[in-house]
Amino acid sequence: MMRWRHLIGTSLLLAASVSATAGDFAGTVTHVTDGDTLWVRPASGGAPRQIRLQGIDAPEICQAFGSQARDALAARVLRRQVEVRSRATDSYHRALAHVSLGDDDLGAWMVKRGYAWSYRFHNDPGPYARQQAHARKAGLGLWRGDAPVSPREFRKRHGSCSGKPGALALQNP
């Protein structure tokens, strides 16, 4: 009997944590960690929520073009009102979300300007393949280099950026 109560309690706790990060809401960007992660304080109140932009993969912060991607996203959205549409969380407990600033989808904005890759899964080129092709053809952002290394490949070769130079986040004063 005690085991069932524990299981039910754990399930309720998990459901509460998912509902705390998933869903649609408007809020203000308070912090930008890197080119695909930001924090949004809901307009309805409460603590800022960590959001991972769905559909893109930006360079790691210690990787070539990582700080430029973070700075571009911060310049675009820091202290601004955004709309968040989330349906899931990732393995780091971040809400996976499409975030928009007015009519701009931030994922599309980042990829089109060469600050991130369209997130690929197996043979699927990802949701922003057209924007990536545009940036690559125009030589924008990370596509200025000879052979940009995807964040996935960078992590395989070098590991995480934790504790390495450039890992500091841009924060709201």
The SS3 call for residue 133 is helix
Q: Is 153 an annotated catalytic residue? A: no
- Which entry of 49, 76, 94, 113 is annotated as an active-site residue? 94
The β-bridge partners of 118 are: 56
Phi, psi of 172 (to 5 degrees): -75, 130
Structure tokens at 43: 């307009």
For the question of residue 52 being annotated catalytic, the response is: yes
Catalytic residue among 60, 70, 76, 113: 60
What is d(CA 28, CA 20) in angstroms, rounded to the nearest whole number? Answer: 16
Beta strand residue intervals within the chain, DSSP E = 23-34, 37-42, 49-53, 56-57, 81-89, 95-101, 104-105, 117-118, 170-171
Of 52, 70, 76, 113, the active-site residue reads: 52
Residue 134 φ/ψ, nearest 5 degrees: -60, -50
Q: Which residues are catalytic?
A: 52, 60, 94
